[in-house]
Amino acid sequence: MIKNIYNLSQRSIPAVKSARAPAALIMTGALLTAMTVPVAANQGSEISNDLSRCNTRSGPALMVTVNDVKASQGRIRVQTYRATRDEWMEKGKWINRIEMTAKAGTMTFCLPVPEAGTYGVAVRHDLNGNGKTDITQDGGGISNNPSINIFNLGKPKYTKVGVDVGSQVKSIRIQMKYL
Contacts of 47 (CB under 8 A, 6+ apart): 96, 97, 98, 111, 112
Question: What distance in Å separates the CA atoms of residue 178 and residue 31, rounded to the nearest whole number?
Answer: 10
Between the CA of residue 65 and those of 43, 144, 172, what are the distances in Å?
Answer: 24, 12, 6
Sequence-distant (≥ 6) Cβ neighbours of residue 111 within 8 angstroms:
47, 61, 62, 64, 78, 80, 96, 98, 121
Containing structural domain, residue 53: 2-175
Question: Per-residue pLDDT for 30 more than 60?
Answer: no
State pTM to two decimals: 0.77
Which segment of 12-26, 40-54, 122-136, 141-155 scores lowest on mean pLDDT?
12-26
pLDDT at residue 12 in the model: 38
Number of domains the chain contains: 1
How many CB atoms are located within 10 Å of the residue 41 CB? 12
Residues comprising the chain, all counted: 179
